[in-house]
Amino acid sequence: MSSIITYLLQYNQYLLRIIYQLTLFIAKHIPIKQWAFDDSHSPVYQKFKTDKLPIIKKFEKQDYSFLLEYYHWKYGKILKPVQAHKSKPRTVPKEAVCPLCGAPHQYLYDNNGGNGQFQCKVCGQTFINGERVTSPLILICPYCGHTLVPVKDRKHFIVHKCINKKCSYYTANSKLLPKDLDPKDKYKYKLHYIYREFTLDFFSMDLNQLPSWVTSFKFRKNNAHIMGLCLTYHVNLGLSLRKTAHAMRDIHNINISHAMVASYARTASVLIKPFVDTYDYNPSINLAADETYIKIKGLKGYVWIIMDTISRSILGYQVSKSRDVGPCILTMRMAFDKFKEFPGKVLNFIADGYSAYPLAAQQFKIEKDWDFNITQVIGLSNDDEVSKVFRPYKQKIERLNRTFKASYRITCGYGTDDGAYYGVNLWVAYYNFLRPHELYKWKRPLNEVDMLKDAGNMPGKWQLLIYLGQQVILNMQESQ
């Protein structure tokens, strides 16, 4: 009898190992399809869809003599230099050389009527003499193989478009158009393949750079405890700057101006931020992202937040004036830096239907070779399988936005860019390290730091957070 039980236990362990290997294989190689997004066949929804990456041919130096020999071997004749027309003398300078293959001026055409652009007869490269190559890389449509054409030049990116009317992508979308559609209304639908080439490198930006207005704490009239009291009233209790100054006068009989409270908060946020951003959160593979509206100097601004849906910690956050891909990439960089090793396809990244998230994922694929899937939960009701499975993750990030808005609402909007910067920084530090959370029955914060446990009160915890941030800054400066 015991031998049968032992055999069944061993067989059970064997089945568990097989299930684990199959689950791992599915997670890496068979991602869940975006039924609610990719299978929307109507051209109306094509504008919200991010096309796959094009075929990229980068600029690589070549040898024109080798290309001439190859031409002779392939076609059995010699590639002759450019012959000048009798009525038009050559305007190509003798010092001009092709930047791609090094061909001399004998093999160069005047490509735009004497305005400075040339084309190489050997390799076909166009360039402006002494300045730059006009096409440092070639983008090719992955559906038909035609070269993409730049059609729009935006602030941070260039829109490239496949204008081939016989492209399979174009013909497939054209068949889905309404039969009674007026030809003048075709512009309302996205029919052509489109790729956005970003001209600003968001991956070379320093996420830990200190602002120019940073000052040190020099207490002439007050002390560190009074500064901790101001942060407690302003951040923990959500009082405005003027109400914080009133509370200091009415409760503690300390005469302090609201401008001094703002100075304390601004400098404390800069000192605490490095500790918050470099803390070892040990994140899970389930992340959720969302953006919410704020007011900065009376104009619309945005706060981008990425949270770990398991530990509820905020891993990435940014403040921006525009709702574009740039701040989205910076927020994702900040969150992904918390991983000791990027999880890749195993990562569950949940967001809404905004197209900035798939575009940012494409840039991570190009720049970092990090391949992961964006699961987009669209709408407010579970009308599809994706929403039914991932709606709870999306609700957590929405609940976090409401928690942030509760502290933001008392400001009636930020008066300056710096106010929005330090306000969000301090709130994230409070949420991650000081605020008791319902996940632990309101008994402790999300991330416990041993040094903060020894503090007797909240002003002392703020002072210790500033001290920990100063130590991180000193370590960064020493390492540099």
Do residues 384 and 283 both lie within one domain? yes
Predicted confidence at residue 38, as pLDDT, reads 43
Q: What is the 8-class DSSP label of residue 48?
A: G
Quick: pLDDT tens for 273-303. 999 999 999 999 999 999 988 888 888 889 9
Do residues 93 and 194 both lie within one domain? no
pLDDT over 70, % of the chain:
86
Quick: pLDDT tens for 349-379. 999 888 889 889 988 988 888 888 888 887 7
Q: How far apart are CA 314 and CA 311, in angstroms?
A: 9
Do residues 78 and 191 both lie within one domain? no
The range of the structural domain enclosing residue 158 comes to 141-198
- Taking each helix axis from N to C end, the angle separating 385-408 and 417-433, rounded to the nearest 10 degrees, works out to 110
Quick: pLDDT tens for 210-250. 665 555 566 667 788 888 999 999 998 888 889 999 999 99
CB neighbours of 428 closer than 8 A, spacing ≥ 6?
276, 314, 317
Q: Considering its fold, how many domains does the chain have in total?
A: 3
Do residues 127 and 154 both lie within one domain? no
- In-domain check, residue 260: no
Do residues 416 and 451 both lie within one domain? yes
**Higher-pLDDT residue of 410, 407:** 407
Do residues 464 and 364 both lie within one domain? yes
Predicted confidence at residue 39, as pLDDT, reads 41
- In-domain check, residue 253: no
- In-domain check, residue 402: yes
C-alpha of 12 from chain center:
44
Which of 133, 149, 179 terminates a domain? The answer is: 133
Q: What is the CA radius of gyration of the chain?
A: 30
Predicted confidence at residue 211, as pLDDT, reads 62
- In-domain check, residue 467: yes
**E strand or H helix that includes residue 70:** helix 64-75
**E strand or H helix that includes residue 187:** none
Do residues 146 and 103 both lie within one domain? no
Do residues 160 and 111 both lie within one domain? no
| pLDDT at residue 109 tops 90 | no
- In-domain check, residue 233: no
Q: What is the 8-class DSSP label of residue 402?
A: H
- In-domain check, residue 421: yes
- In-domain check, residue 221: no
Predicted confidence at residue 289, as pLDDT, reads 93
Can you give the pTM of this predicted structure? 0.72
CB neighbours of 391 closer than 8 A, spacing ≥ 6?
377, 382
Do residues 313 and 439 both lie within one domain? yes
344: left (phi over 0), alpha (psi -120 to 50) or beta: left
CB neighbours of 140 closer than 8 A, spacing ≥ 6?
54, 55, 56, 57, 146, 147, 148
First and final CA of the chain: distance in angstroms?
67
Do residues 170 and 272 both lie within one domain? no
C-alpha of 469 from chain center:
25
Dihedral angle over CA of 394, 399, 400, 402, nearest 10: 130
Q: How far apart are CA 151 and CA 200, in angstroms?
A: 18
Q: What is the 8-class DSSP label of residue 53?
A: P
Predicted confidence at residue 33, as pLDDT, reads 46
Q: What is the pLDDT of the chain when averaged over all its residues? A: 83
Do residues 154 and 96 both lie within one domain? no
Q: How many residues does the chain have?
A: 480
Predicted confidence at residue 35, as pLDDT, reads 39
Q: What is the mean pLDDT of residues 473-479?
A: 83
Do residues 128 and 145 both lie within one domain? no
Mark 289-319 as b/e (b = at least 16 C-beta within 10 Å). Answer: bbbbebebeeeebbbbbbbbbebbbbbbbbb
> Residue 59 — very low, low, confident or very high, per pLDDT cuts 50/70/90?
low
- In-domain check, residue 203: no
Contact 303, 331 (CB under 8 A): no
Dihedral angle over CA of 393, 398, 401, 406, nearest 10: -130
Contact 213, 266 (CB under 8 A): yes
Q: How far apart are CA 272 and CA 422, in angstroms?
A: 10
Query: β-pairing, 348-351 with 286-296?
Result: parallel
Q: How far apart are CA 10 and CA 8, in angstroms?
A: 5
Predicted confidence at residue 99, as pLDDT, reads 82
Quick: pLDDT tens for 6-19. 778 788 888 888 88
Q: What is the mean pLDDT of residues 65-82?
A: 90
Beta-carbon count within 10 A of 260 CB: 19
Dihedral angle over CA of 276, 282, 286, 288, nearest 10: 0
Which of 105, 133, 161 terminates a domain? The answer is: 133
Contact 310, 340 (CB under 8 A): no
